[in-house]
Structure 1
């Protein structure tokens, strides 16, 4: 009896040794990666892969073939894709939801109610992706299939609102409220769209008035320039046509009253013009801009203010107002005209050979009798502006 019991114990130990050894059952989970392997079983999957390879996952491929059995009717297949899209939508995976709804629509089943739902659901997914125009197209398509589809109307209203189509949003709200006068979402959105519509119309009126005002000011400036016989040149003029251009031949589109520096010629309430004027100092590669040079102001007045303290780049300390001379270069005729510093800006601008380029009168400032000045005018005849 004791011998028999010993034999049973030996058999039991041998059986348990199978579990204690390094060998595992065929197909058993790995102790290190059991969670990953467990997640590969279709019934326990937390999330299905975007693409299914039958070789790597034959079980899942088999299930998919059962779900999308070609023997199903087109309506059944479309409904399956709709349900799949709804699941993706709940997971907030809107891109995959769009793909599923699209596949459902591609079945072209005869169930127009189902097709309207697919369009409406795809519109919702596209909306959350920020594709408002695509979403609106789906909402419109859904309404063609089912004009009184309230969800499609609501989705279209929200799309119009995002696209700033406020009038259309109000119109769609009105159509939806004829179906359900108590629909809260439509009531709230209609109030918001109507408020935004009125704000937009107000802003548009203000913008048009401002545009009209600016055009009137520009016309007045242009007329004042023409009355003074000041000649302008547009920035886009070709070199061979610069001198032949005159104010009478130019249009407002060819001349901008704003200079390249951002300053602009303006007309004050007394009918006087003020110009942005640029002074160039070729000896030192420096410049000064006077943003509002009154046409009746004399050059010497500005020079005295500008050089009340000598600039740091004047290392030789020679740019005293009394020692400065003004010039204008006539590039077309290769001539230099000297301007008396006691002259007004208007007197210089009215000279027959002076042309205002790019809306900014420009003058050269040199020191009289300086070596640089003599070399600068070498080979060129200097004329006085009269």
Structure 2
């Protein structure tokens, strides 16, 4: 045998150690590592657990007597109902300390015991509902209160807790129903009277708000339908992305403006609308590609001319026009037919409606767009190079 090696016989072993093939079962027999308490505890099979239970339930015995497990099979057994009561009291102590998480665990352990005392089971469920409610677990709490009420229909605390859970979940009709159920048991129960009054008030507010929302939705739908009818009547074409039905077409075509990076503060929420005289007013975007600048008009009346807006917009030269070229009389306006990759020059004397009615003009995202260039500028010549340009 080489130096430094030991035979198997020379390797020290732990006394009373777990056997490799049964270590899990052996560990399960130790009270500290048990995953659940056995329904019946045999002092011969579970001596440590029998000792602990004897300490808890054999009131006439001294704790020291447990140092040696007793062999009697029945004296060391605690009935499941006694265990459940113990866990209930433990949960109540945690609840008083406001340790609601541990209270829930204690009540749950009590409910795992097999016993037939309906009253005790209902109390454990109701108490767990109270602890879960304090933790904000309203659906779990409501489930416990419901189960407690099924076991004992006149369990007033369970009914009160169920009503409170329904209030937190904004189930006002259900909260009122639970309150009515409890008040048939005790017509003077203060908490139920308070909850019923509050639930009734909030329910009426909720119903009023629902009526308002429904009326508003109906009004908005009517306005959308009138608006779409006015657009179709003028033979204006809207560019939408494959709508599946007319309602989606309205929603897509008249959606809030998305200017793809050219968003100005005034653009937010701007939409085409009908004024009191039945005329269309459009949000219109002016693009100046040479300087990557924009102007946005929130309400461009359909019968107003482009030249009128240009005169107002360029009454003072913009700070980015360093060469002072952007004068109303020195500008050309175009729109682009993206499908054909063609440009159409607009007559500034034309109205917005005249342009929108052009057979190749499509309003995209609810916002008419025009491009402005300085006449005969090097930039415009380069921009139009290779493109077909039409004059209106």
TM-score, normalising length: structure 2: 0.78
Is 1:354 paired with 2:361?
yes
Structural mapping, 1:226-305, within 5 Å:
226-234=232-240, 236-237=241-242, 251-260=249-258, 261-305=268-312
Query: Is the CA contact (8 Å cut-off) linking 1:258 and 1:265 kept in structure 2?
Result: no
Aligned-pair CA distance for 1:188: 1.1
Is the contact made by 1:68 and 1:77 (CA closer than 8 Å) also made in structure 2?
no
Superposed CA deviations along residues 108-145 of structure 1, whole A, max 9, x for unmatched, are 32111111000100000000001111111110010010
SS at match of 1:169: helix
From 96, 102, 110, give the equivalent of 1:96. 102
The residue aligned with 1:166 is 172
Structure 1: 5+ residue stretches without partners: 1-50, 239-244
Provide the aligned length of Structure 1 versus Structure 2. 323
Aligned equivalents of 2:276, 2:315: Cα separation in 1: 31
Listed as ranges, the matches of 1:327-366 within 5 Å are: 327-366=334-373
Counterpart CA distance in 2 for 1:321 and 1:160 is 66
Superposed displacement of residue 384, structure 1: 1.9
Q: Partner residue of 1:380?
A: 387
Alignment deviations for residues 205-236 of structure 1 (CA, whole Å, 9 cap, x no partner) = 011111111111111101000100100011x3
2:117 matches 1:117: no
Asked if the contact 2:254/2:272 (under 8 Å) is kept, the reply is no
CA deviation after TM superposition for structure 1 residue 254, in Å: 4.2
Q: CA deviation at 1:259?
A: 2.2
TM-score normalised by L of structure 1: 0.79
- CA distance in structure 1 between the partners assigned to 2:179 and 2:315 by the alignment: 70
Q: For structure 2, list consecutive stretches of 5 or more residues without a partner in the other structure.
A: 1-30, 35-47, 59-75, 259-267
Counterpart position of 1:176:
182
Task: Determine helix, strand or coil for the equivalent of 1:252.
Answer: helix
Q: Determine the C-alpha separation between the residues in 1 that align with 2:114 and 2:307.
A: 85
RMSD: 2.5
Looking at structure 2, the residues matched to 198 and 173 of structure 1 have their Cα atoms a distance apart, in angstroms, of 17
1:371 aligns with 2:378: yes
In 2, the alpha carbon distance for the partners of 1:344 and 1:264 equals: 19
Q: Distance in 1 between matches of 2:114 and 2:282?
A: 70
Partner SS for 2:250: coil
**Equivalent pair of 1:257/1:265 in contact (CA under 8 Å):** no
Partner Cα distance (1:207, 1:327) in 2: 43
**C-alpha distance in 1, partners of 2:205/2:156?**
28
Alignment of 1:19-30 (within 5 A): none
Aligned equivalents of 1:323, 1:304: Cα separation in 2: 11
Please name the residue that 2:73 is paired with.
none
Within 5 Å, give how 1:86-235 maps onto structure 2: 86-234=92-240
Measure, in 1, the Cα distance between the counterparts of 2:181 and 2:285: 63
| Distance in 2 of aligned mates of 1:136 and 1:218 | 44
- Look up the match of 2:56: 67
Cα distance, 1:77–1:227 mapped onto 2, change above 3 Å: same
Counterparts in 2 of 1:150 and 1:347: CA distance versus 1, 3 Å: same
What residue number does 2:26 align with? Answer: none
Equivalent in the alignment of 1:23? none
- Describe the shift of the 1:182–1:365 C-alpha distance in structure 2 as closer, same or farther (beyond 3 A): same
The alignment partner of 1:288 has SS state of strand
